């Protein structure tokens, strides 16, 4: 029997086998293709798998990449991989011959997702991509990130669909310096991040007193947690701090920088989140969608490196997004 998926209660997953080909050199680099494979496997085994539909990403068009990055950086990135370099600027930023094309495909997943959301062909989109993006600055790669997937998506939503008041909520263990620097001087575009305190954690930005500059004053909300920060502390932020801030911002589009490296088992941070906290995070975000954006949410994978818990953490997040 033909059974049509109800987009209002389903999750549209955007991913592509080519993401596995971004080569970070083997060795002990943590940002590896097996991350995505762990996520695919956990979602295949999910009790919610009947609610998933799948869509393809596209290569982000240069005009949209240029809304977040400089022409110089795009040329430098492409030239570095084509000339056989194995990293750019820092050993963290490992690349292979195909990494430029794959990074453009990673940035394009959000654009494909926004088109589906705006055409009412999806309600809840999760882009399972690599390389990740939130540390990438306008003209510099940082922390495994080359193109800032969340910022490219935000610019597309703002300019193509006139949804100016885009919120990016980033729950990766690390502060998304590249998202903050894109938004911090603008009055539209909001960045909310919960992360390990910058005194103890990469990249060293994201102090609570960084609220935005000039016209952008009040558009940045950093909520750093001390090492050992756990489920209770996150839940307290959801109850006590975040709701009034969202009411003030009144976002008309929501992008989630979904990173899973704050899990207690993931040694990329000192935070101590449980797997189940990710379900609570998903449920909370779902309620924001219902309040502000007609339920529409775009999530984009950022970090998460401990393969034994990454798949289950993503699956828990998805459960939170989908549970009635
Ligand atoms: Zn991270």
Q: What is the pLDDT of residues 234-289, one digit of tens each?
A: 999 999 999 999 999 999 999 999 999 999 999 999 999 999 999 999 999 999 99
Residue 18, domain member (yes or no): yes
Q: Write out the catalytic residue numbers.
A: 135
CATH at residue 225: 3.40.800.20
| Cα 310 to ligand 1 centre (Å) | 12
| Cα 260 to ligand 1 centre (Å) | 7
Alpha helices by DSSP H, listed for 136-212, are: 149-160, 177-183
295 Rama class: left (phi>0) / alpha (psi -120 to 50) / beta: left
Distance separating alpha carbons of residues 9 and 12, to the nearest angstrom: 10
Once rounded to an integer, what is the mean pLDDT over residues 12-40? 96
Write the pLDDT tens digit of every residue in 68-103: 999 999 999 999 999 999 999 999 999 999 999 999
Give the pLDDT of residue 2. 47
| Cα 303 to ligand 1 centre (Å) | 4
Protein residues with C-beta less than 5 angstroms from the ion ligand 1: 172-174, 259, 261, 303
Q: How many domains does the chain have?
A: 1
Distance separating alpha carbons of residues 318 and 42, to the nearest angstrom: 11
Is the pLDDT confidence value at 1 over 50?
no
As given in the structure block, the two tokens for residue 138 are 């306008």
Is the pLDDT confidence value at 8 over 80?
no
Residue 25, domain member (yes or no): yes
Is the pLDDT confidence value at 25 over 70?
yes
The residue behind tokens 């401990």 is 306
Give the pLDDT of residue 5. 63
| Cα 3 to ligand 1 centre (Å) | 38
Residue 161: partners with Cβ closer than 8 Å, 6 or more residues away: 114, 118, 253
Residue 227, domain member (yes or no): yes
| Cα 134 to ligand 1 centre (Å) | 9
| Cα 173 to ligand 1 centre (Å) | 5
Distance separating alpha carbons of residues 207 and 198, to the nearest angstrom: 6
Residues paired with 255 in a beta bridge: 168, 298
| Cα 195 to ligand 1 centre (Å) | 9
Distance separating alpha carbons of residues 306 and 324, to the nearest angstrom: 29
Give the pLDDT of residue 204. 97
Write the pLDDT tens digit of every residue in 151-174: 999 999 999 999 999 999 999 999
Give the pLDDT of residue 140. 98
Residue 226, domain member (yes or no): yes
Give the pLDDT of residue 232. 98
Is the pLDDT confidence value at 3 over 60?
no
Give the pLDDT of residue 284. 98
Distance separating alpha carbons of residues 296 and 17, to the nearest angstrom: 26
Distance separating alpha carbons of residues 63 and 69, to the nearest angstrom: 10
Residue 2, domain member (yes or no): no
Q: Average pLDDT, whole number, for the chain?
A: 96
- As a whole-number percent, the residues of the chain with pLDDT over 90 amount to 96
Peptide bond just before 259 cis, omega within 30 deg: no
| Cα 69 to ligand 1 centre (Å) | 21
As given in the structure block, the two tokens for residue 30 are 């943590």
Q: Of 141 and 323, which is predicted with more confidence? A: 141
pTM, two decimal places: 0.97
Residue 1, domain member (yes or no): no
Residue 150 lies in domain:
7-322
Give the pLDDT of residue 9. 80
Query: CA angle 160-139-19, nearest 5°?
Result: 70
231-240 and 275-292 are packed helices; what angle lies between their axes, rounded to 10 degrees?
A: 10
The residue behind tokens 């996150």 is 234
| Cα 304 to ligand 1 centre (Å) | 7
């Amino acid at each position: 029997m033909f059974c049509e998926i109800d987009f209002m209660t389903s999750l549209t997953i955007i991913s592509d086998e080519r993401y596995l080909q971004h080569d970070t050199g083997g060795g002990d680099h943590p940002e590896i293709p097996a991350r995505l494979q762990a996520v695919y496997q956990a979602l295949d085994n999910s009790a919610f798998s009947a609610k998933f539909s799948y869509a393809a990403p596209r290569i982000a068009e240069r005009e949209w990449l240029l809304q977040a990055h400089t022409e110089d950086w795009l040329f430098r990135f492409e030239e570095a991989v084509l000339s056989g370099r194995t990293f750019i600027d820092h050993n963290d930023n490992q690349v292979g011959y195909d990494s430029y094309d794959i990074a453009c495909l990673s940035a394009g997943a959000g654009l494909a997702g926004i088109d589906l959301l705006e055409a009412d062909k999806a309600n809840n989109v999760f882009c399972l991509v690599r390389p990740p993006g939130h540390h990438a600055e306008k003209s510099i790669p940082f922390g495994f990130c080359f193109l800032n997937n969340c910022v490219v998506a935000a610019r597309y939503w703002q300019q193509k669909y006139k949804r100016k008041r885009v919120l990016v909520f980033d729950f990766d263990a690390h502060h998304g310096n590249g998202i903050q620097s894109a938004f911090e001087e603008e009055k539209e575009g909001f960045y909310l991040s919960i992360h390990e305190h910058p005194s103890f954690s990469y990249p060293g930005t994201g102090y609570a007193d960084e609220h935005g500059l000039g016209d952008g004053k009040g558009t940045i909300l950093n909520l750093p947690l001390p090492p050992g920060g756990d489920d209770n502390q996150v839940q307290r932020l959801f109850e006590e701090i975040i709701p009034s801030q969202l009411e003030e911002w009144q976002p008309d589009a929501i992008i989630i920088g979904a990173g899973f490296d704050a899990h207690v088992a993931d040694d990329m941070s000192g935070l101590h989140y449980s797997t189940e906290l990710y379900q609570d995070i998903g449920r909370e975000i779902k309620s924001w969608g219902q309040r502000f954006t007609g339920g529409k949410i775009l999530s984009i994978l950022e970090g998460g490196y401990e393969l034994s818990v990454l798949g289950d953490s993503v699956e828990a997040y998805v459960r939170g997004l989908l549970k009635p």
